[in-house]
Structure 1
Amino acid sequence: VSPGNTFIYHEDSNTELFQIRRVDLASTEITTVAGGPGGAVRPTPSPDGSKLAYVKRVRAESRLFVMNLATGEERMVYAELDPDMQETWAVHGFYPTMEWTPDSDAIVFWAKGKIFKLDLATEATTEIPFHVADTRKIYPPLRGTVEVAPETFATKMVRYPQPSPDGTSVVFESLGRLFIKRGESPPERLTRGDHEGFDYSPIYSPDGDSIYFLRWHDDSLTTLYRVRTRGGAPREMALSKGQYDDLAINADGTELLLRKRRGSDLLNPNFDNKPGIYLYDLASEQLSFLTDSGNNPHFGPEGRIYLQERNESAEGRGSSTAITQLVSVDRAGQDKRTVAEAEFASEMRLSPDGNYVAFINQFQLHVAARSQFGAGIDLDAAKPAFAVRRASKVGATYIAWSPDSESISWSVGAEFKTANINTLMNGDYATPATGNNLSMQVAHAIPNTAVALTNARVITMNDERAVIENATVLIKGNRIESIARGTAVPEDYTEIDLAGKTIMPGIIDAHAHGPYAGDDIIPQQNWNLLAHLALGVTTVHNPSSSAKSAFAAAEYARTDRILGPRIFSTGEIVYGAKSTSWAPIDNLDDALAHVRRLAAQGAISVKNYNQPRREQRQQVIEAARQEGLISVAEGGSLYQLDMSMIADGITGIEHNVPTLKMYDDVHQFWRQSGAGYTPTLVVTYGGLTSEDYFYQNTEVWKHPILSNFVPPSQLQARSVRRVTAPEEDYRDDDSAAAAKILMDAGIMVNIGAHGQREGLASHWEMWSFARGGFSPMEALATATINPARHLGMDKDIGSLEAGKLADLVIVDANPLDDIRNTDRISHVMINGRLYRAGDLSEEVTGTATLSPFHWQTTPQGAIR
């Protein structure tokens, strides 16, 4: 505010990046004072009101300007500011505050980690020396140990559990197969024989004699089956080709409901004409269209059909006008009526008798008595007014009512719990401490093979960073037996001569978003995962995913049901913003509930994501500590938030610190904490990214490996017509240079490709670290041993040593000579199985091959 409260100066982001505008407080007239190319931020009027200091970009550099407010003359007075934050969201300002001296003759400002005074008349700068000796209370970062590939493991992400009508049995999906658990007996396989495809969405017939279910196959898409509850061979029923889910049955067992999905590149973009909700007559096996909106369809009283709809707001996530509604339609799909709504509900389901509405809100199951409210009531707003009861304590997925509406069931991980409605609604209720455990102990896939890789250069990435020339690597099953030079190959080992090639550890992507399913339908061949594997990524850690798909896909991969990298994840983020993913934290018990839910589903880590208050973030970290999980932080382009979470014991910061430059105070602080750093250079805050750089400087769409696995519609749309910019506009190397100082101080710096370009972006991360000053060996460490230690997996992966898992990459040229050789991949080995990178056909250890992808059988497949 200028002297005399005459004008207010503020930033405006609507035009020219940012402008400084002036508001006349008397007339309310608004005029632009500064802006244009390079923007204008941090307006600071002089005490006498005659001048305005501000920060402006000149090309890629931030510089200090002063304007004579009487004449409008602009004058650059200092050219060596640190980068401003005009290209981030700058919640805490675009540049540190500056101030005029009282006589309006000089400006005091911050730059290069120091404080300067600039005399306006001479433009001479004088450093104002200062030194702060301080101590801060910090907590050691959470660290854990993950057994990457135990010989057996307990399944956790049980999906689609449904109780039998009499409540004595539960049918569910695990590992792409249907199982049934009868009473206290162990689960048993429902369908006999081996078959291609993955089963899902089972439901009991009302008499309990049969189970209807869907089966996914990448070629035939969804098929509908019926099988007797006692087991046996299922009978396929007529169903037009398409992608279906959300199976439901009516009370007399004569009709089904299904939802037909829109196509997608992950599953198949075709056969999606007229998506929506359909009725299926079991006698004639004919579909009839009902409505084009909604999901989670189910039958209700008076012959009406109930659907869940999510009305998103144009105002964005968290807006009060974005709501989930439970609606009903007649059998013609008409006469839509709103039954209930809840702002942040992720699932809503009416009881069969129509007297109760169950809904999952903030990951917990709630039940409301319908008799106490009128049509269209907002269940969130009405909670104080009438009985809305919380049934779950730790979390809930997969709501299931009993046919008589007297009980409701849900699951969390492998536990299936049931509550009596009368007890729940009368207030004398305690959440069941335990439930029906649907977990099974299954074997991790281990090949029965013995292989000797000979005459190769081996970059071990061990503590000594040893490089062994002409080495022999003996591998038995899925683990390395020995690595040495001159080792004789035992008679029972198959020798593979790798003369002229280099072996490095499999790449570990510490921040790897990506799809595992389409609305929980897991494809047999996930081209995204396969592209990662073909490009040498053998382990991914996803710090924000759907638990239902990520943890299920992880279990599929461990048992060779799908091919791809090893999958680890946080599941859903512990999110501080209002949305259907909101996880409000008001105390440690709230945090423990969210963390325990994720752990039960299969999480090894927790994503501490933008909880607004520091004690909330601390409670998430403490809950993770108590449950034995690590916790990674969404950096959020918020410097202060990053520093506070480092102090509070976070395992590591995800995304780069937005200031781009850090100084010795931060280096000392961070070093003494030991928290890790995954700056995700491919999406660097503060300017153009690593991804932008390599799109500009390489022909990505022609990559000999990537182009075999990614649909042209996905690959070419982003990579062919590229935006170009001068070198100085790119900020990935600046962020990498800041990370280099941290790594030199002992901080574990990791790659995190953010899911940007399937597998190739992991190499871009390494190459950008090299652009920022990392040696090739240091860059390799960010993709191998560093993330292994960061995630607690270094006993099994991250380096090539005896006893560790046989996850490795064979390249045609030495990355230590040129880090850009990392993607010249000949073969990839994961879990002891060897695959040719170009098409992932298995060699020596087996004969498996991939089927053609959906686009490879169409004209699109010829586009390269």
Structure 2
Amino acid sequence: KKTTLTLAVASLLSFAPLSMAEEQTQGWDVSNPQGEFKDIDISVNSGTWMNVDVSPDGEYIVFDLLGDIYRMPFGGGDAEKLVGGIAWHMQPVYSPNGRYIAFTSDQGGGDNIWVMDADGSNVRAVTEETFRLLNSPAWSPDSEFLVARKHYTASRSLGAGEVWMYHRSGGSGVQLTERPNDQKDLGEPAFSPDGKYIYFSQDDTPGKTFHYSKDSLEGIYTIKRFERESGEIETLISGAGGAIRPTPSPDGRYLAYIKREDFDSVLYVLDLKTGEHKRVYGKMERDMQETWAIHGVYPTMDWTPDSKQLVFWAGGHIQKLNIDDGNARIIPFKVETEKKVQHALRFKQNVEADQFDVKMLRMAQVSPQGDAVIYEALGSLYQRSLPNGEPQRLTNSEDFELYPQYSRDGESVVFVRWNDEAQAQVIVRDISSGNEQVLNTGQGNFVEPTFSPDGKHVVYRKIRGGYLISDKFGLENGIYRVAVSANAEPEQIAESGHLPQYGARNDRVY
């Protein structure tokens, strides 16, 4: 393979930007983006991740589908579009007096809370956040106020939520809960029917940082409630399987929620008077407890006005469940609509070219003298003189080569070579002569080798690979050290870790 390499990062696509005056005059409208579009017809009777709500009089169900909001009779049938277009609208919820529907929409440029009349007319924004965006609206019992989840980010792209309250006419809002840290999620707020409490779900795992490898069986989310008068917060439901999507019944007697049983998301009802937890439905779709779910861990659901049935989305359909006998029935719907789809921007690529510029270089290491740099591209190691040298292949191997590190004197480099037969090998190569030495590490998957200051040892990390390679050597893990001298046996110096590095002297590894 022949490649022409550059140290430049990927080139940016060239556009003709608007001047500042043109931007201020033209503005940016989510509903009228630039580009070429085509119209597609949609006719469906099922959907994915649909938020549903029942009108206070029990006559209608509202739901979202493909970024539009629909209304249909409670018994099912043809759905009427209330708000649609290119902007994304979701999470519709009726006000208790039945006059309004609140929802989340990005039609103003980012997720905010909007309100429309129950027939879809008179659409207006309640919040106008430009950075700390909002979702998951819920009404106060008097239909005058809304609570919502406000999203905060810090050093990581993921973030945490707070519950804020707004008057339906707008305003800057009032903070009700304070995020405990910048990475643990909180959301799905809901008023109690008497207005005394606000329920919400929260990632309550230990620590201050978000991790993907959480155990849902031990419990990730808990359901808490905020007492409006005192400001106190208590944990209402916790433990194995967690608890999400708190949904109080209109009579205030029950709280519906979802928990995890093994790999299944299961619908439960808590009797707030007796404290009894009742399992009522076991075929919910998989919730998002392990992930980052800023718009809710499960779509919204609702009770019928008599507090005897629950209406929710599962299995692609809107369903109603009698909580006494556990009988669930599908409420059929049909959506016929037209959506605009933008033509994808595509660039022709010649994948058969003999030469091409590589625009992603990895694991770059500058020599101790600062006169050269070594890096990996397309699975091979290259070296070039600084500042203006031409890239040169370090080896002529056809195997993958990764994780290069210079010795302290700059005369040698250690790296990992991989092929499917020998697996990973830790290689020490003399740069001037090209002589190589394969260190005695045994078989396994090795990464991140580095020299000791005196060049006599190499430390490296052995990682698990049992799902892809033989279990004879794929289940070990840890930090190892091996002498560069011939046939030296490796020794494990730590059970786990990342990026092992020697200190200034030879006596410590960090």
For the aligned pair, the TM-score class normalised by the smaller chain equals: 0.3 to 0.5
The TM-score, its normalising length taken from structure 1, stands at 0.27
Higher relative strand content: 2
Higher relative helix content: 1
